[in-house]
Amino acid sequence: MNISLTGRHLELTEAIKSHMNTSIETLAKFNMDIISANVVATAQNKKGKEHMVVEFAIHLAHKNSIIIKQSDSDLYAAIDLAISRAQKAMGRMHDRDSAHHKVGLNGLKAENVDVKAAAEASEDEIVPVELDLYKPREVEDVLNDLKESGKMFEIFLDNEDKTRVLYKRNDGKFGLY
């Protein structure tokens, strides 16, 4: 990040320069890729009163620049108020960018990402199973298959073409529905 500090009608002391630099460095927390920051501090006399004007021009990569002009009777107060406004503006831009780039399942499909793996990571696992309901089966055969496998239940068609469920009960016996 390039930082340019300029004083018009006033001399920038080392204390003022360090205050401006530390204030600008607080903007880095938004991760907005700041290209440059130009600060112009001006002393103006209007109607016999002297007041300070600070203008920040913050140039961001791939975004609009942020221009903030703040005046106050104290230079440090003007810098603090301008930085506060810049932080608010950059916070809004950061929130807008992060909120609009959430990728859903359609976005993952467009990027050729494994949608099943992403869905399993984001929610409870529900696995659709194709049933072999096309041929009738005997209850004894299904019972033997259920004992050998680690499944809790089996859905099948019996010889009367009724859909049946054979399931393991908590007491170790089997139930037929």
Q: Buried b vs exposed e over 84-103: b needs ≥16 C-beta within 10 Å?
A: eebeebbeebeeeeeeeeee
Domain ranges of the chain: 2-100, 129-177
Per-residue tokens: 118: 């992403």
User: Please, are residues 105 and 115 in contact by the beta-carbon 8 Å criterion?
Assistant: yes
Per-residue tokens: 112: 């050729």
The CATH number of the domain covering residues in 129-177: 3.30.505.50
pLDDT single digits (tens) 26-76: 998 888 889 999 999 999 988 888 999 999 999 998 888 999 999 999 999
Could you name the CATH architecture of 2-100? 2-Layer Sandwich (3.30)
* Phi-psi category of residue 141: left, alpha or beta, with phi > 0 → left and psi -120 to 50 → alpha: alpha
Q: What is the mean pLDDT of residues 151-163?
A: 84
pLDDT single digits (tens) 81-113: 999 999 999 999 888 877 665 556 565 555 655
Res 21 pLDDT > 70: yes
The pLDDT-based confidence of 12 (bands split at 50, 70, 90) is very high
